[in-house]
């Protein structure tokens, strides 16, 4: 019989990753018609498969998902025959005696989908050692999800069947499941399953959080059967649970409808329920979570499912309250007849070590409480920083290109104890780890030097010596400014060393080792053999002849068309005024006008080199490329953003961005002065913002270490909000920014705020209910709207959410994601303190007494409203601007010597008495102020509960 995670002291880490593990997967590795992947780990034979007796699902060998890594075994015969009901999926295992980390890769998934991942384990003394192993499970790396420890596997009995399950959000088309050897036994696995879920299921699972199942219980079923596929079409496993000493059971044979229920619990599960033994008693459920080491859990999620199974007479009523650890939920539950509903703690996660769930009848109820099913989850953070995505893509491409046989799996640099063999990484607290050293000496590499090596922008040491590399040395390697040692000795390379590489070797910035490559030349073209020169000369003559013929043909065609239709040729050049109207001209005319027909200056690449002093000073770096300081002919300072070769923005996207930037003008949006589209070179020229980013001022990094006073922070918030409001309301069509964050708010010499990087905004309709569907998530972890992460649909309310995070950063001086001591979002951190009335515990400690406590409290509440998960409850940016202006007015009154006349007249948290829905102050406030306050501060110590339609 399968055991739930609760029956075992360990769980599975299931993780998402960005990169392929190399090699093409076979067709058998694809999901089936249901989107299911069902793997029998260790099943003999690559093409072997069978139909499971219970689920009737096809299970296949794991070879296409793991390759030839590890070894396969059958469990001991004594455990295979006892008990007789043991599923065939447990007969074999795959173990991993070699390597620290071994990962399965499940592919062909739907990016942005939500999936249930389940792995099962049964030791069964497969190795004949009788030694019960302990090992860890970690996740691979993904630029969206991160790298996270999930749990330690501690096998307690050889005949114990255990299952570990998680609900995860998948931003890419694949998932990695990784097992780690910690030196206390060999990791192994019996089976691995993936099941797609509807996006509405388990909304708490998103880009930054995953859910690890502790229990999923079907209460008081008529027999001991486990409910799963096909009864549950999503193959969730509902384990039976009865307790005759605590509960009575009721049931029905009628179908229970789950229409409108976001969890779609199967009717068979909802057809049974438990009630108290005595109608006058409370219905009790006691749960103790599995301990989470190292503070890994963010808390616990409890979901309770209800249905009324009895047709009640008109004079009967079933209504009851729920309390969890003596905290009563605000709304009573009234189950619907043969309908389903649920209650959960939503995003207000519990963090206790034990839970006593008590259900008791209201004063008007004539019947006792009832419950059909319950689910318990541990909430796991997925916000740790993974290796730089460009480095990951490059190293994976190299692994595939050269078929590297090393055990390169999961994230290359994270965790630090499992850095890939032959790699060295650098780590900073705020940025992704970078690969700084690659040693592939004597690794059997064949072929040319891959262009992927030029993508390691932080690499300092690259050793490719003593391999079988051929071809020339790429001159682009000279562009790796951090590279100090390049060892290519002992290969079969040929041709001349590029002037750029020679220059770096001569100025001492690069130590280039190329010995034992007899065909390499260091003196230019003169070192080429005569035969080669002759061949090149012949090729050159032929090429010139071909070009001359093509030119003559083109000229003849031109005059032929002109004679046939001279009028159309005369009208082919539009006037400047016409170009401004359509904005689609593609050539620069003789008067120096923009090729887009827009009133903006077009620069050549040579001009950019001149105005930036050959790109001397870097102001910053982004996904588009580096930003350099420059100066125009009249002395005007500018910022020049050069598109890097690694940018995924194409010509069409770039020109679209230029059009958007040219047409948008607002005092709180960074202005574009011009652009460059010169061959492959693309750049944007902006007004210069001398005081850098808001993030620099808040964090005190760089030259901006002076703490901003609260009044200045408020002014920045108002100005930034006005810029976003213009994008949402002042543009036609309206635009959604999609990447609002503190680093995209720039300050000029007067500390006036302007929004930057809105060129890649997307248009949406005037109605806020509409959205922009995207093919990839744009944004920064910590700032991205959870709804956008889940649905891939960006709305104006997505910007509102991100701005709310910016506002919390302004109030607290802290980053969006805190890691003290465990990972927590700034939203939860602020909510916890405000729920205790502790506004001073929220305020940036560097801000001293130069602020009005009322304006600060109001700003914090505005931010929390912006970040509420329900889109309809978020304000518009117009509302935000108005409310922040009120906060600023309070500060201006304080600066003018006005009275401290706000809602809350004290700074001591003891002055506030909290209730479930609002609070009142011990100090005097007028009735209108208090009414507004109670409406505005609608949160308290008791978490708000999500309830399904049947219990509301």
DSSP result, 526-576: GGS-HHHHHHHHHHHHHHHHHHHHHHHHHHHHHHHHHHH-HHHHHTTSPPH
Cα 456 from Cα 412, distance rounded (Å): 13
Q: Which two tokens stand for residue 946?
A: 């999500």
List helix spans (H) across 407-451.
none
Distance CA 70, CA 96 (A): 4
* C-alpha span between 670 and 685 (Å, rounded): 11
**Taking the CB of residue 510, how many other CB atoms lie within 10 A of it?**
20
Catalytic residues: 739
Among left, alpha and beta (phi > 0; psi -120 to 50; other), residue 882 is alpha
**CA 655 to CA 687: how far, in whole Å?**
19
Cβ proximity of 176 and 15 under 8 Å: yes
111-123 exposure pattern, b = at least 16 Cβ within 10 A, e = fewer: ebbbbbbbbbbbb
* Cis amide bond preceding 415, omega within 30: yes
Q: Which two tokens stand for residue 841?
A: 């515990």
Nearest-angstrom CA–CA distance, 487 and 283: 72
DSSP E strands, 748-826: 753-755, 762-763, 772-773, 793-794, 817-819, 823-825
Kind of pairing, strands 511-513 and 601-603?
unpaired
Looking at the DSSP bridge assignments, the partners of residue 350 are 300
Nearby residues of 801 by Cβ (< 8 Å), 6 or more positions away: 784, 785, 786, 787, 788, 866, 867, 874
> Residue 69 in contact with residue 95, Cβ under 8 Å?
no
What span, in angstroms and rounded, lies between the C-alpha atoms of 548 and 238?
A: 76
Greatest distance between any 2 Cα atoms in the chain: 107
Question: CB burial class (10 A; 0-12, 13-18, 19+) of residue 8?
Answer: buried
> How many Å is the Cα radius of gyration of the chain?
32
Q: In 3D, which of 757, 747, 741, 756 has the Cα closest to residue 716?
A: 747
């Amino acid at each position: 019989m399968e055991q739930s995670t609760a029956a075992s002291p360990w769980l599975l880490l299931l993780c998402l990753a960005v990169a392929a593990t190399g090699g093409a997967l076979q067709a058998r590795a694809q999901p089936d018609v249901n989107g299911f992947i069902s793997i029998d780990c260790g099943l003999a034979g690559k093409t072997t498969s069978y139909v499971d007796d219970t689920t009737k699902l096809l299970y296949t060998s794991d070879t296409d998902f793991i390759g030839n890594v590890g070894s396969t075994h059958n469990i001991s015969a004594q455990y295979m025959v006892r008990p007789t009901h043991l599923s065939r999926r447990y007969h074999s295992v795959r173990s991993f005696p070699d390597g620290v980390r071994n990962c399965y890769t499940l592919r062909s998934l739907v990016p942005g989908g939500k999936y249930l991942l389940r792995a099962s384990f049964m030791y069964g003394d497969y190795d004949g050692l009788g030694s019960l192993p302990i090992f860890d499970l970690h996740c691979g790396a993904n630029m969206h999800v991160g790298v996270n420890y999930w749990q330690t596997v501690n096998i307690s009995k050889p005949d114990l069947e255990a299952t570990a399950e998680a609900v995860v959000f998948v931003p890419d088309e694949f998932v990695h499941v990784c097992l780690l050897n910690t030196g206390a036994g060999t990791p192994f696995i019996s089976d691995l399953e993936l099941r797609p879920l509807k996006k509405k299921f388990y909304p708490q699972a998103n880009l930054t959080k995953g859910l690890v199942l502790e229990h999923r219980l079907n209460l008081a079923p008529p027999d001991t059967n486990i409910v799963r596929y096909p009864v549950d079409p999503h193959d969730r496993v509902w384990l039976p649970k009865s307790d005759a000493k605590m509960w009575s059971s009721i049931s029905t044979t009628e179908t229970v409808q789950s229409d409108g229920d976001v969890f779609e619990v199967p009717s068979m599960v909802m057809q049974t329920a438990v009630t108290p033994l005595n109608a006058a008693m409370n219905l009790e459920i006691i749960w103790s979570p599995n301990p989470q080491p190292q503070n890994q859990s963010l808390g616990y999620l409890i979901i309770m499912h209800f249905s009324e199974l009895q047709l009640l007479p008109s004079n009967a009523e079933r209504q009851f309250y729920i309390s969890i650890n003596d905290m009563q939920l605000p709304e009573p539950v009234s189950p619907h007849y043969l309908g389903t509903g649920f209650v959960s703690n939503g995003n207000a996660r519990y963090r206790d070590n034990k839970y006593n769930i008590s259900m008791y009848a209201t004063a008007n109820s004539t019947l006792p409480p009832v419950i059909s099913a319950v689910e318990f989850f541990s909430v796991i953070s997925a916000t740790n920083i993974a290796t730089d995505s460009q480095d990951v893509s490059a190293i994976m491409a190299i692994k595939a290109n050269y078929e590297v046989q090393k055990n390169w799996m999961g994230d290359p640099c994270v965790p630090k104890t499992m850095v890939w063999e032959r790699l060295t990484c650098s780590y900073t607290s705020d940025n992704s780890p970078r690969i700084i050293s690659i040693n592939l000496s004597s690794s059997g590499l064949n072929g040319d030097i891959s262009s992927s090596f030029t993508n390691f922008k932080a690499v300092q040491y690259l050793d490719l010596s003593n391999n079988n590399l051929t071809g020339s040395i790429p001159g682009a390697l000279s562009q790796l400014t951090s590279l100090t040692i390049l060892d290519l000795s002992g290969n079969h390379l040929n041709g001349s060393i590029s002037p750029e590489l020679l220059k770096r070797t001569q100025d001492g910035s690069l130590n280039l080792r190329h010995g034992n490559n007899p065909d390499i030349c260091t003196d230019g073209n003169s070192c080429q053999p005569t035969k080669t020169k002759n061949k090149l000369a012949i090729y050159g003559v032929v090429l010139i002849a071909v070009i001359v013929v093509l030119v003559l043909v083109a000229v003849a065609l031109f005059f032929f068309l002109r004679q046939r239709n001279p009028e159309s040729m005369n009208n082919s050049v539009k006037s400047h005024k016409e170009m401004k109207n359509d904005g689609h001209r593609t050539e620069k005319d003789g008067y120096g006008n923009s090729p887009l027909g827009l009133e903006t200056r077009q620069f050549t690449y040579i001009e950019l080199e001149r105005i930036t002093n050959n790109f001397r000073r870097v102001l910053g770096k982004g996904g588009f490329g580096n930003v350099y300081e420059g100066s125009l002919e009249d002395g005007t300072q500018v910022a020049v953003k050069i598109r890097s070769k690694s940018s995924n923005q194409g010509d069409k996207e770039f020109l679209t961005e230029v059009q958007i930037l040219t047409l948008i003008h607002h005092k709180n949006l960074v202005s574009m002065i011009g652009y460059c589209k010169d061959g492959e070179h693309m750049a944007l020229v902006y007004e210069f913002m001398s005081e850098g980013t808001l993030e620099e001022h808040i964090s005190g990094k760089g030259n901006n270490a002076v703490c901003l006073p609260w009044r200045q922070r408020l002014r920045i918030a108002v100005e930034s909000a006005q810029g976003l409001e213009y994008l949402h309301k002042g543009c036609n069509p309206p635009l959604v920014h999609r990447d609002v964050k503190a680093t995209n708010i720039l300050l000029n010499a007067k500390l006036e705020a302007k929004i930057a990087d809105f060129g890649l905004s997307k248009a949406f309709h005037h109605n806020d209910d509409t959205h922009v569907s995207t093919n990839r998530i744009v944004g920064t972890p910590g700032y991205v709207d959870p709804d956008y992460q889940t649905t891939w649909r960006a709305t104006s309310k997505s910007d509102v959410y991100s701005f709310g995070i910016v506002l919390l950063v302004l109030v607290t001086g802290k980053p969006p994601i805190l890691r003290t001591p465990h990972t927590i979002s700034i939203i939860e951190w602020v909510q916890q303190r405000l729920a205790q009335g502790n506004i001073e515990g929220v305020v940036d400690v560097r801000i001293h007494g130069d602020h009005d406590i009322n304006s600060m409290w109001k700003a914090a509440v505005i931010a929390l409203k912006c970040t509420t998960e329900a889109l309809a409850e978020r304000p518009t940016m117009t509302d935000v601007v108005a409310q922040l202006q009120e906060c600023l007015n309070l500060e201006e009154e304080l600066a003018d010597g006005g009275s401290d006349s706000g809602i809350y007249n004290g700074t001591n948290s003891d002055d506030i008495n909290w209730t479930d829905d609002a609070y009142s102050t011990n100090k005097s406030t007028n009735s209108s102020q208090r009414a507004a306050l109670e409406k505005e501060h609608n949160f308290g110590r008791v978490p708000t509960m999500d309830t399904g339609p049947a219990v509301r």
